[in-house]
C-alpha cells in the first residue's frame, strides 16, 4: 500500500501530507509501472501520485494537426475510474478511520479483470469502457457506496447542482438527492476518463488519434487490483493521493 508517509520517504522535497481534506473520493488508478500508468502520465502530464501536478497536457497527441485539447477541470486527478464520488466527512468521522475502513474493505475483495476495453463517449467525455458488461466491477462500486455511506455527510446543494441535468430520469434524480451522484448502484458503469468535455467532432478526432496508442492496452484489458483514496484540498487544486490499497492484500 502506498500512502503519504511512503511518498515523503521516496520523493525528496515533496510537500507534507495534509492531515485532512475538504472531501474524499475512491478511485481506481493504475498500478505504477504498468502500461496504463505510463500512458496516463504521458497523456495528462502528471502521475497519480499527488506530487507531479502539471497541467492537463496534449503530449499524447504530439505531431497531430488539430488544436490543443480543452483543459480538464482544475480538480482533475489524472487517469482514473470512479468508484465512490467525492464526499465530505460526516461529523465525528475522521480520515484515519476512513483509511482503516478502506484497508479492511480492499483486503476482503478480489481483483477484477475488465476484459477487453474500447474507446467510448460518455456524454461529452471520452472514456475507456469494457466491451462486455462486467457485473463484478459494478458490484464493487455498489459495495463502495454502501461500505462508506456512514462516513459521508449528506450531499450539499452545490454537489447536487454539479450533477444536475434535465436529462436525468426520475430514479437518477433520487440517487442524486441521496448520494450526490446520479450514476451509482444500478446506474453505475465502469469508465476510465480520458478527456474533459469536448464537442462531438473533437471527440472523434481525439479517439482516432488515441486508438493506435491504446489498442494493445484495450485488447488486453486491465486488472482493477486496488482502490485509491484521494483527498480534495479545496479550490481548483487537483485531488491528492492519500493511499492505494491493494484488493486481496
Distance of CA 81 to the CA centre of its chain: 4
242 vs 124, more confident: 242
Q: How confident is the model at residue 181 (pLDDT cuts 50, 70, 90)?
A: confident
The parent domain of residue 178 ranges over 45-62+74-79+89-114+135-189+222-239
196 in a structural domain:
no
Q: Report the DSSP pairing between strands 240-246 and 2-3.
A: antiparallel
Q: Report d(CA 237, CA 117) in Å as an integer.
A: 30
162 in a structural domain:
yes
Find residue 81's DSSP bridge partners.
Answer: 28, 192
Query: Is the pLDDT score of 105 beyond 80?
Result: yes
129 in a structural domain:
no
Grid coordinates belonging to 161: 447542482
The predicted structure's pLDDT at residue 186 = 87
104 in a structural domain:
yes
Q: Report d(CA 102, CA 104) in Å as an integer.
A: 5
The predicted structure's pLDDT at residue 197 = 81
Query: Is the pLDDT score of 10 beyond 50?
Result: no
Query: Is the pLDDT score of 177 beyond 70?
Result: yes
Beta strands in 16-145 (DSSP E): 23-28, 80-87, 112-113, 117-122, 125-130
28 in a structural domain:
no
Q: What is the pLDDT of residues 134-150, one digit of tens each?
A: 999 999 999 999 999 99
Query: Is the pLDDT score of 16 beyond 50?
Result: no
Q: N- to C-terminal Cα distance for the chain?
A: 9
Q: What is the pLDDT of residues 55-103, one digit of tens each?
A: 344 444 544 433 345 444 444 567 899 999 889 999 999 999 999 999 9
Query: Is the pLDDT score of 30 beyond 60?
Result: yes
Query: Is the pLDDT score of 20 beyond 60?
Result: yes
228 in a structural domain:
yes
Q: Report d(CA 145, CA 198) in Å as an integer.
A: 29
Phi-psi region of 181 (alpha: psi -120 to 50; beta: other; left: phi over 0): beta
119 in a structural domain:
no
31 in a structural domain:
no
Q: What is the mean pLDDT of residues 126-133?
A: 94
The predicted structure's pLDDT at residue 127 = 93
- The domain tally of the chain equals 1
Q: Report d(CA 141, CA 26) in Å as an integer.
A: 9
Residues 6+ apart with CB under 8 A from 49: 7, 11, 32, 241
Cell 464526499, located at residue: 87
Amino acid at each position: 500500500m502506498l500512502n503519504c508517509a511512503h511518498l515523503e520517504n521516496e520523493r525528496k522535497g515533496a510537500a507534507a501530507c495534509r492531515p485532512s481534506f475538504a472531501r474524499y473520493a475512491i478511485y481506481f488508478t493504475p498500478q505504477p509501472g504498468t502500461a496504463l500508468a505510463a500512458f496516463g502520465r504521458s497523456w495528462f502530464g502528471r502521475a497519480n501520485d499527488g506530487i507531479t501536478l502539471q497541467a492537463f497536457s496534449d503530449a499524447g497527441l504530439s505531431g497531430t494537426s488539430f488544436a490543443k485539447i480543452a483543459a480538464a477541470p482544475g480538480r482533475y486527478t489524472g487517469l482514473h475510474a470512479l468508484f465512490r464520488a467525492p464526499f465530505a466527512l460526516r461529523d465525528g468521522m475522521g480520515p484515519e478511520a476512513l483509511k482503516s475502513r478502506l484497508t479492511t474493505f480492499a483486503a476482503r475483495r478480489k481483483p477484477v479483470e475488465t476484459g477487453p476495453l474500447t474507446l467510448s463517449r460518455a456524454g461529452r467525455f471520452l472514456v475507456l469502457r469494457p466491451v462486455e458488461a462486467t457485473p463484478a466491477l459494478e458490484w464493487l462500486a455498489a459495495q463502495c457506496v454502501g461500505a462508506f455511506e456512514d462516513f459521508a455527510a449528506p450531499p450539499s446543494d452545490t454537489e447536487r447542482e454539479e450533477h444536475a441535468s434535465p436529462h436525468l430520469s426520475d430514479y437518477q434524480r433520487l440517487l442524486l438527492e441521496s448520494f450526490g451522484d446520479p450514476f451509482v448502484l444500478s446506474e453505475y458503469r465502469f469508465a476510465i476518463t480520458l478527456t474533459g468535455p469536448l464537442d462531438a467532432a473533437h471527440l472523434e478526432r481525439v479517439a482516432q488519434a488515441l486508438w493506435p496508442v491504446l489498442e494493445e492496452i484495450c485488447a488486453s484489458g486491465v486488472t482493477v487490483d486496488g482502490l485509491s483514496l484521494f483527498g480534495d484540498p479545496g479550490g481548483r487544486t487537483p485531488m491528492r493521493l492519500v493511499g492505494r490499497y491493494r484488493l486481496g492484500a
